[in-house]
A and B are shown apart, each in its own frame.
Chain A
């Protein structure tokens, strides 16, 4: 084992320690705290880049904490799935960059350090979650990023945000309890918590009913976290009413943790071969299909920009669930690629929507008429992001959907392609409404006429992510090549169904 492996736990310790120190070091000094948080996030990103290069040059990195070999101690792994950390950290850096002005304008100075502390703790929790190879450890990190996420939603003042945060908290707590119950069930059957160890021992336990219950609890728990229809009902209010940088964080990154949990669950149960996974796959396909259509239709009937984006997240999580459920190599690699691409697109869209909200105070699409003249760069970034969200080639949204469609053909379910196309057309429908309002209608509000272009610290992440969103599809082959081994590992373990 190379000494570089010691960096793996640091991806958790570094942001969390920085977050814990933030209120102590920077009470009432919001700007200094922002620099501190940004530096910590960049350092964490650099750590993940080093780990990733190590992963590219060799095999997966495993770290036994305290030197205790698994299953006696806790193990962290940096495998293909954990490489998602790279995206988590990179986007968190951009979110923090954009958050400064927003926080200065909306969060009272005595609480700014608490805001940054929660963002950093959230990042550390997500990093730990994607790298966890131990079931209880997975649960602990899920609690860390969940609790910080509830609080971040509630930081936006107002009755809608408070109610949304409460709903998010209650639903999230139920889903966490289901996951905990499943961990207990698996531990009771195997006496172990390490995932690959559990997978090996589960078949010997000869308790298919208890295993099926554990699988069911894990799936429902993670479907809630991933906001897959019909368990998405907490998402639109929470993501739309949160402070915009937080919306970007939740819709871009936190919701993807449910997918990571699902994939880890699927790998474990495919290895254990005690419960047939065909039903799970069919469930994911159907829920995905309904989510794509329902999410797109619901996005279409919204009037508020951020609510449209939130429902579009519901639809896009449907695409990812669909891809995983189809369980062919192309569909799963499409789903994994779409996880990364959607994170990029939606983070950019919410950050851009945040700039508009901060500069104009307006959130309804009809009120934003003519904003293209006053805030051309921000509006342009929004348009590019929306085009990418519809999945027009060669934008980032295209690659995943194309791969999922190919996978549907391989799986012999050609009708799914119709759903994918319908979802894209519906998305195009509301995207055109927004674009039309921004660029081709005369201003209807005085605040649009007096609005100025967003400050540089908000423009840079918005524009960067928008450019990435439309051009990253060109690098689709590279990303698909990177996720392919992981996709094969996910579907390869269960050829027999």
Chain B
């Protein structure tokens, strides 16, 4: 009975939503409002004014930098939330974690073999993010996935011990911090917070720095989620 009622409500709500969405301009039509107003302005002058050869990067890191800053803060806040709530470090029982999880030797070899290439690809995506599709978030996720794979092979403790705790917190905070520094640099050099200052080389340097910071921040957040889940699992 309850299920039937829930199903009915879902169907009615879905019907209402479909009816609303059906009035939108068809996706991809060139005269849709999405393609005419702000987006058209970005395409007309965005590459030069935005300072990044890739338009998506120009929108993310220049026109709408505050949104990207907010997203970076969301990721950091989620990581802090997981660390603050997670059980790891709270209940250190006498049971010790096994230092190495049993991983099949084939998987072990392949991960070790591929690790440098994955790392290189991640770095490529991060550093070329302002020129080609890609960027800090995507590259950071690849890097984070690599670190998670390595923690499977090498044992989570090796990964945990790579950095002492305060240094780890500095690195985790790198993306919001670099963003804040960029914002202030924009105010000092271009007159507006979050503006990208003028000489092209400086602008490029800042974009690369931002992408790197976002990448490292995203990677460490992923690893942080994984390691605290993993630690809870063993406690």
A and B co-occur in one complex: yes
Question: Is residue A137 within 8 Å, beta carbon to beta carbon, of the partner chain?
Answer: yes
Smallest beta-carbon distance B16→chain A, Å:
7
CA distance A212 to B190 in the complex (A): 41
Contacts of B160 in A (CB 8 A): none
Contacts of A212 in B (CB 8 A): 20
Binary A-proximity of B86-120 (CB < 8 A = 1, otherwise 0): 00011000000000000000000000000000000
Q: Taking A13-B180, A121-B77 as contacts, is the C-beta distance between A27 and B70 under 8 angstroms?
A: no
Binary A-proximity of B191-216 (CB < 8 A = 1, otherwise 0): 11111100000000000000000000
Contacts of A23 in B (CB 8 A): 80, 169, 172-173
Question: Is residue A410 within 8 Å, beta carbon to beta carbon, of the partner chain?
Answer: no
Contacts of A214 in B (CB 8 A): 20
CA distance A187 to B21 in the complex (A): 12
Contacts of A16 in B (CB 8 A): 73, 176, 180
Q: Taking A23-B169, A27-B169, A155-B84 as contacts, is the C-beta distance between A66 and B65 under 8 angstroms?
A: yes
Binary A-proximity of B50-67 (CB < 8 A = 1, otherwise 0): 000000000000111111
Q: Taking A67-B192, A140-B71, A191-B38 as contacts, is the C-beta distance between A13 and B183 under 8 angstroms?
A: yes
Pairwise interchain contact B80-A210, C-beta atoms closer than 8 A? no
Pairwise interchain contact A136-B42, C-beta atoms closer than 8 A? no
Question: Is residue B1 within 8 Å, beta carbon to beta carbon, of the partner chain?
Answer: no
CA distance A137 to B74 in the complex (A): 12
Contacts of B193 in A (CB 8 A): 6, 9-10, 13, 63, 65-66
Smallest beta-carbon distance A209→chain B, Å:
4
Pairwise interchain contact A137-B83, C-beta atoms closer than 8 A? no
Contacts of A207 in B (CB 8 A): 23-24
Question: Is residue B85 within 8 Å, beta carbon to beta carbon, of the partner chain?
Answer: yes
Q: Taking A20-B76, A24-B173 as contacts, is the C-beta distance between A68 and B63 under 8 angstroms?
A: yes
Interface centre among B66, B85, B169 (most CB of A within 10 A): B66
State which residues 161-204 of B face A: CB under 8 Å.
Answer: 165-166, 169-170, 172-173, 176-177, 180, 183, 186-187, 190-196
Question: Is residue B233 within 8 Å, beta carbon to beta carbon, of the partner chain?
Answer: no
Interface secondary structure of A, over-half rule: helix
Pairwise interchain contact B66-A144, C-beta atoms closer than 8 A? no
Question: Is residue A74 within 8 Å, beta carbon to beta carbon, of the partner chain?
Answer: yes
Pairwise interchain contact A147-B191, C-beta atoms closer than 8 A? no
Smallest beta-carbon distance B138→chain A, Å:
19
Q: How many residues of A contact B (CB 8 A)?
A: 64
Contacts of A72 in B (CB 8 A): 38, 41-42, 63
Contacts of A148 in B (CB 8 A): 77, 80-81
Question: Is residue A213 within 8 Å, beta carbon to beta carbon, of the partner chain?
Answer: yes
Pairwise interchain contact B16-A74, C-beta atoms closer than 8 A? no
- Cβ contact of A155, chosen from B36, B85, B173, cutoff 8 A: B85
Pairwise interchain contact A151-B66, C-beta atoms closer than 8 A? no
Pairwise interchain contact A191-B74, C-beta atoms closer than 8 A? no
Pairwise interchain contact A73-B23, C-beta atoms closer than 8 A? no
Binary B-proximity of A148-174 (CB < 8 A = 1, otherwise 0): 101100110000000001000000000
Pairwise interchain contact A66-B192, C-beta atoms closer than 8 A? yes
- Cβ contact of B34, chosen from A6, A13, A151, A188, cutoff 8 A: A188
Minimum CB distance partner of A182 in chain B = B20
State which residues 106-134 of A face B: CB under 8 Å.
Answer: 108, 110-111, 114-115, 117-118, 121, 124-125, 128
CA distance A360 to B103 in the complex (A): 52
Question: Is residue B33 within 8 Å, beta carbon to beta carbon, of the partner chain?
Answer: yes
Minimum CB distance partner of A117 in chain B = B80
Question: Is residue B17 within 8 Å, beta carbon to beta carbon, of the partner chain?
Answer: yes
Minimum CB distance partner of B82 in chain A = A151
CA distance A6 to B187 in the complex (A): 9
CA distance A468 to B82 in the complex (A): 37
Pairwise interchain contact B38-A193, C-beta atoms closer than 8 A? yes
Question: Is residue A21 within 8 Å, beta carbon to beta carbon, of the partner chain?
Answer: yes
Further pairs besides A27-B169, A111-B83, A151-B85: 19, Cβ < 8 Å: A9-B66, A17-B176, A20-B73, A21-B177, A27-B165, A65-B66, A66-B192, A66-B193, A74-B66, A115-B84, A128-B70, A144-B73, A147-B74, A148-B81, A151-B77, A185-B21, A191-B35, A191-B36, A192-B38
* Closest A-B pairs by Cβ, 10 of them: A213-B20, A151-B81, A191-B37, A140-B70, A67-B192, A207-B23, A24-B169, A114-B84, A191-B33, A210-B23
Interface set of A (CB-CB < 8 Å, partner B): 6, 9-10, 13, 16-17, 20-21, 23-24, 27, 63-68, 71-74, 76, 108, 110-111, 114-115, 117-118, 121, 124-125, 128, 136-137, 140-141, 143-144, 147-148, 150-151, 154-155, 165, 185, 187-193, 201, 205, 207-210, 212-214, 216
